[in-house]
Amino acid sequence: MSKRFRNYFNFSHSIIVKNLKPENCAWAYGMNIFDLRAWRKKNITNTYHSWLKENLKSNLTIWKLGTLPPAFTQFKPNSLVRAYPKPSFS
């Protein structure tokens, strides 16, 4: 499966269409390192909870069940985290 937002979010839902782009990259969960000062400064917890509330209001139709798309929204361009290539261990 492609790691693009289109595979996780319901792009027929207006809030998704207004806020996200289907071609944006998602990432595979694993080990993530966060700058907690930046997290707090950008109020990521509140944003995350807002997305969860929107999904509940929509009767769980904003994203596909079994995925964690609210977290994906924090990794879109100009967000909290920058992507770095993983180091080679060879």
Q: Which residues of the chain have pLDDT under 50?
A: 77-78, 81, 83-90
Whole-number pLDDT of residue 11: 93
- C-alpha–C-alpha distance, residues 44 and 57, integer Å: 20
> Is 83 a member of any domain?
no
**What pLDDT is stored for residue 86 in this prediction?**
47
Q: Is position 47 within any domain?
A: yes
Predicted local confidence at residue 66, as pLDDT:
77
Query: At which residue do the structure tokens 């998602």 appear?
Result: 26
- If phi > 0 it is left, if psi is from -120 to 50 it is alpha, else beta; for residue 58 that is alpha
| Residue 53 belongs to some domain of the structure | yes
pLDDT tens per residue, range 29-47: 666 777 888 888 888 888 8
Q: Is residue 45 assigned to a domain? A: yes
Domain assignment present for 22: yes
pLDDT at 5: 87
Query: Domain containing 32: what range?
Result: 5-75
Distance CA 61, CA 12 (A): 10
Q: What is the number of structural domains in the chain? A: 1
pLDDT (0 to 100) of residue 87: 46
